[in-house]
Amino acid sequence: MKDKLVVGMAVFALAAILAFTVGTSAAPGITKATAAAAALPAAAGANASAPEPHPQIREAIASLRRAKEHLEHAAHDFGGHRVEAIHATDEAIRQLEICLKYDKD
């Protein structure tokens, strides 16, 4: 029962991180990658490659890595859940990296 609760909490936390990351773009349809591409000068824009695909997933991976770093160096064990949360974070990162490998866009 405790294991199900821990996994459920970890999944909820990861989903919240992903939802927050996806929901924080400046405007609908505008991401950091597209905003950066729009800021390029016209001459450089002609030779520039397409914007980075799936920037939200890449941001989620970076966010999860930062959370893992925090957990690894925290002063306490979060009620005995730190190790399980680190493992769940590793698994979430692995799954997101697999998603990017299978992208056909």
Quick one: which of 70, 75, 82 has its CA closest to 9? 82
Residue scoring higher pLDDT (85 or 29): 85
Say what the pLDDT of residue 103 is.
80
| CA 66 to each of CA 29, 47, 61: distance values in angstroms, whole numbers, following the listed order | 26, 34, 9
pLDDT tens-digit readout, 34-70: 444 444 444 444 456 777 789 999 999 999 999 999 9
Quick one: which of 72, 86, 99, 65 has its CA closest to 10? 86
Over residues 93-103, mean pLDDT: 93
* Top mean-pLDDT range of 4-13, 20-29, 45-54: 45-54
| Residue 72 DSSP symbol | H
